[in-house]
Every structure is written in C-alpha cells, then in structure tokens.
Amino acid sequence: MSQPSELPHPLLRIVLVEPEIPQNTGNVGRTCVAVRSELHLIRPLGFEISDKNLKRAGLDYWPHLKWQIHDNYDAWWAQVTDPSRVFFFTTHTSRSYFEAKFQTGDWLVFGKETKGLESSLLQRNEPQLLTLPQYGPVRSLNLATAVAIASYEAIRQFHNPST
C-alpha cells in the first residue's frame, strides 16, 4: 500500500505498540484520517500490513493515511523531540486523561490488545501515564475505541483551549 504525501502539521501522532488485531489497526487508521493525525506502528505486528481485514476496517480511507512502521520501540523513540509531549495510555495509573493538557503534535501511545504496554515502559514514563476512566466491570476498552476517545478529547481541547 502506498502512503500519501507528507501530512502538513498533524494534529496528533498515534502510536500502536505491537498491535495484534488488524481490524483494530484499520479502525485506528480511519480515526487518524478523520482527525488529521499520523499513525505509527511499532513491530512486531500481529498481522501483515496488506491484510484484507486491515484494509476493510479502514475502508477507502487508508490511501489518505500518513503512517509509518518502526522496527522497534527505540527506532520510534528516536523521532521524539520532546518527551514531555508523549502520553502513554494504560489501565495501570489513576491519572485520568481529563487531567492532561494536550497540544497539537502530541504523541498518544497505546499498547497491544492483549497485554497493553510493558510494565518497564510504564515505570520509565510514570509522569506521562494516562487512563480512560472506567466505572463498569471491564478490564479495558477496545484499542480502536480508546484511541478514538483520547483523540477526540485532544481535538476538543484544541477548539476549547481554556478547558
């Protein structure tokens, strides 16, 4: 699949660390197009990037998506110029995403569907951890749902900077 030309001033940069389910990644890609954001995928991936389910979930929006695959976490991290603008989403913190003050260009990082982000990664980045509050008896939200919720909260803040 070919990539579009450079995305001017992405609103956000969504990072999926070792995603496992192609339909989730396809849906996340579709959300990225909707909110003018880049998608960064960190290997290993649990599917082939040409997987028909990935394309189907992203529908005909995939050609409009600016995306990049990184061989590993360190290769991706080398692109980060301001670590204070990287937010790691996890169920292993009490800091709600409502407390974050998002800025354009921020990195929103999500872990694999079955395990989330590695505990060592969470420990190294504790001040940057955020969670989506869950008041019902669930362990976590679907990856694509979590990305959409976080992305649209950031967009809401861009349009209402006083909140």
The reported pLDDT for the residue numbered 4 is 45
Indicate whether 5 pLDDT > 50: no
Q: What is d(CA 62, CA 85) in angstroms, rounded to the nearest whole number?
A: 26
In a domain, 33, yes or no: yes
Phi, psi of 60 (to 5 degrees): -90, 10
Give the model confidence (pLDDT) of 133-161 as tens digits.
999 999 899 999 999 999 999 999 998 76
Residue 52 · residue 77 · CB < 8 Å: no
In a domain, 85, yes or no: yes
Phi, psi of 48 (to 5 degrees): -85, 140
In a domain, 7, yes or no: no
CATH number of 135's domain: 3.40.1280.10
Average pLDDT in the chain? 90
Give the length of the chain: 163
Write out the residue range of the structural domain in which residue 102 sits.
12-159
Give the model confidence (pLDDT) of 62-110 as tens digits.
788 999 999 999 999 999 999 999 999 999 999 999 999 999 999 999 9
Q: Give how many domains the chain has, as a whole number.
A: 1
Quick one: how far is CA 34 from the chain centroid? 14
The reported pLDDT for the residue numbered 160 is 77
